[in-house]
Amino acid sequence: MTYETTTSLSGASVLAQAKRFFQERVPGSAAFPEKEGPSYLTLRGQGGEEVAISVSEVAGGTRVRAGTLLFDQAVGRFFSTLPQLTEGAA
Protein backbone atom coordinates (compact mmCIF):
# COMPACT_ATOMS: atom_id res chain seq x y z
CA MET A 1 0.00 0.00 0.00
CA THR A 2 1.16 3.57 -0.63
CA TYR A 3 0.78 6.39 1.88
CA GLU A 4 1.36 10.11 1.49
CA THR A 5 1.51 13.15 3.77
CA THR A 6 3.04 16.62 3.85
CA THR A 7 5.16 18.00 6.67
CA SER A 8 6.91 21.20 7.62
CA LEU A 9 10.19 19.29 8.12
CA SER A 10 12.97 19.15 5.54
CA GLY A 11 13.36 15.97 3.49
CA ALA A 12 16.70 15.17 5.14
CA SER A 13 15.12 15.46 8.58
CA VAL A 14 12.22 13.16 7.60
CA LEU A 15 14.60 10.48 6.33
CA ALA A 16 16.79 10.71 9.45
CA GLN A 17 13.72 10.39 11.68
CA ALA A 18 12.48 7.42 9.64
CA LYS A 19 15.75 5.56 10.18
CA ARG A 20 15.54 6.05 13.94
CA PHE A 21 11.80 5.30 14.15
CA PHE A 22 11.90 2.00 12.26
CA GLN A 23 14.96 0.78 14.20
CA GLU A 24 13.84 1.80 17.68
CA ARG A 25 10.06 2.20 17.86
CA VAL A 26 8.71 -0.81 15.97
CA PRO A 27 8.97 -3.54 18.61
CA GLY A 28 9.51 -7.06 17.37
CA SER A 29 9.73 -6.09 13.71
CA ALA A 30 12.34 -3.41 13.23
CA ALA A 31 13.49 -2.38 9.76
CA PHE A 32 16.99 -1.21 8.90
CA PRO A 33 18.38 0.97 6.09
CA GLU A 34 19.26 -0.95 2.95
CA LYS A 35 19.60 1.81 0.34
CA GLU A 36 19.42 5.58 0.65
CA GLY A 37 19.98 8.81 -1.20
CA PRO A 38 19.11 12.48 -0.73
CA SER A 39 15.43 11.92 -1.57
CA TYR A 40 14.73 8.28 -0.65
CA LEU A 41 15.26 5.56 1.91
CA THR A 42 14.65 1.83 1.61
CA LEU A 43 14.42 -0.17 4.82
CA ARG A 44 14.41 -3.95 5.08
CA GLY A 45 12.83 -5.78 8.00
CA GLN A 46 11.08 -8.91 9.15
CA GLY A 47 11.19 -11.67 6.56
CA GLY A 48 12.86 -9.39 4.04
CA GLU A 49 9.86 -7.07 3.86
CA GLU A 50 10.50 -3.56 2.60
CA VAL A 51 9.52 -0.01 3.45
CA ALA A 52 10.33 2.54 0.74
CA ILE A 53 10.14 6.24 1.63
CA SER A 54 10.63 9.18 -0.72
CA VAL A 55 10.61 12.92 -0.06
CA SER A 56 10.12 15.88 -2.38
CA GLU A 57 9.93 19.60 -1.74
CA VAL A 58 6.57 21.36 -1.94
CA ALA A 59 5.66 24.95 -1.12
CA GLY A 60 6.51 25.46 2.55
CA GLY A 61 7.53 21.90 3.33
CA THR A 62 8.02 18.32 2.15
CA ARG A 63 5.77 15.68 0.59
CA VAL A 64 6.48 12.24 2.05
CA ARG A 65 5.44 9.03 0.28
CA ALA A 66 5.87 5.54 1.72
CA GLY A 67 5.15 2.15 0.23
CA THR A 68 5.03 -1.19 2.03
CA LEU A 69 3.25 -4.54 2.08
CA LEU A 70 3.80 -5.48 5.73
CA PHE A 71 4.58 -2.33 7.71
CA ASP A 72 1.26 -0.48 7.16
CA GLN A 73 0.59 0.17 10.84
CA ALA A 74 4.18 1.28 11.49
CA VAL A 75 4.10 3.70 8.53
CA GLY A 76 0.89 5.21 9.91
CA ARG A 77 2.51 5.59 13.32
CA PHE A 78 5.60 7.19 11.77
CA PHE A 79 3.49 9.66 9.79
CA SER A 80 1.67 10.61 13.00
CA THR A 81 5.01 11.76 14.48
CA LEU A 82 5.63 14.27 11.66
CA PRO A 83 4.44 17.87 12.12
CA GLN A 84 1.78 18.54 9.50
CA LEU A 85 2.13 21.29 6.93
CA THR A 86 -0.54 23.87 7.73
CA GLU A 87 -2.63 25.69 5.14
CA GLY A 88 -1.02 28.88 3.91
CA ALA A 89 2.39 28.02 5.38
CA ALA A 90 4.26 29.02 2.23
pLDDT in tens, 9-35: 999 999 999 999 999 987 777 999 999
Question: According to the model, what pLDDT value does residue 47 have?
Answer: 83
Residue 24 to residue 20: CA distance in whole angstroms: 6
Domain ranges of the chain: 2-80
Residue 71 to residue 52: CA distance in whole angstroms: 10
87 falls in which pLDDT band (50, 70, 90)? low
pLDDT in tens, 45-65: 988 899 999 999 999 999 999
Q: Is 69 helix (H, G, I), strand (E, B) or coil?
A: coil
In this structure, whether the domain defined by 2-80 belongs to CATH 1.10.150.530 is answered with no
pTM: 0.90
pLDDT in tens, 68-85: 999 999 999 999 999 998
